[in-house]
Amino acid sequence: MFRLHTWAAFLAVAAISLSTSALAEEKDKAPEIGKLMHKSFDEGGLRDQIKSAVKDKDFDVAAKAVKEWITEAKGLENATPPQDLKKGWTKAAKGFQTTLSTLEKAIDKKDAKAVEAAFKKINCGACHNTFKLPKKKA
Ligand code: HEC
């Protein structure tokens, strides 16, 4: 589980890296990872939008958001994580995409419990510990 204090530390790091990531250029077709992360997990981002829509039983809104999320995460496996730690990236990226389709199925079934379970499968640490958050080590 992702605990609160981890979140706090994590958000602090994220805030520092915000300014640099805004300058990063878009690469080919692969999404820019940092940009996708903010779109996904920032306050009011896709995760929040889906969570609150599901809470309000507004599954149409949730379905739209998850479709957008899947589109945004398309080609993630072709993106290059920081420090060129390519090893294991494909698997991690695909795992994230698989979780998003699990989430989509749960939303299509209007199953709030399954939605919650799918969200729990997004393992920030699994990626971040391996691929390192920007600025953490620099
Ligand atoms: C598929 C692997 C993966 C998963 C899962 C993942 N991240 Fe990331 N995240 C990354 C990588 C790689 C970076 C570094 C991006 C860069 O610097 O280009 C990153 C960076 C970030 C950043 C900083 C973005 C920036 O450049 O400013 C935030 C914020 C973030 N992640 C939030 C999260 C949260 C919250 C979760 C879990 C709910 C999560 N991430 C799950 C791979 C992942």
Phi-psi map region of 14: left, alpha, beta (phi>0 left; psi -120 to 50 alpha) = alpha
- The pLDDT tens digits of the residues spanning 46-64 come to 999 999 999 999 999 999 9
Residues 113-128, mean pLDDT to the nearest whole number: 91
The structure tokens listed for 87 are 């090893």
Q: Is 137 inside any structural domain?
A: no
Most confident of 12-16, 27-31, 75-79: 75-79
Domain range for 90 = 4-20+30-77+84-131
Residues 2-20, mean pLDDT to the nearest whole number: 54
Q: Is 25 inside any structural domain?
A: no
Q: Is 88 inside any structural domain?
A: yes
Considering only CA atoms, which of 97, 63, 50 is closest in space to residue 78? Answer: 97
C-alpha–C-alpha distance, residues 118 and 85, integer Å: 26
Q: Is 50 inside any structural domain?
A: yes
pLDDT of residue 24: 46
Q: Is the CB of 99 under 6 A from ligand 1?
A: no
Most confident of 65-69, 77-81, 131-135: 65-69
Burial label for 15, CB within 10 Å (0-12, 13-18, 19+), is exposed
Band (87; pLDDT cuts 50, 70, 90)? confident
Distances (CA, A) of 25 to 69, 95, 98: 20, 25, 27
Q: Is 58 inside any structural domain?
A: yes
Q: What is the CATH number of the domain that holds 120?
A: 1.20.120
Q: Is 118 inside any structural domain?
A: yes
Q: Is 138 inside any structural domain?
A: no
pLDDT of residue 22: 45
* Ligand 1 centroid, distance to 112 Cα (angstroms): 25
For residue 25, the surrounding DSSP H or E stretch is none
> Given ligand 1 and candidates 18, 128, 131, which is best to mutate, with the most ligand atoms within 8 Å of its CB?
128
Q: Is 136 inside any structural domain?
A: no
More confident: 103 or 27: 103
* Ligand 1 centroid, distance to 109 Cα (angstroms): 28
Domain count across the chain: 1
Q: Where does the chain have alpha helices with state H?
A: 4-23, 33-41, 46-55, 59-72, 89-108, 112-121, 124-131
pLDDT of residue 123: 85
CA 13-15-43 angle, 5° bins = 110
Share of the chain above pLDDT 70, in %: 70
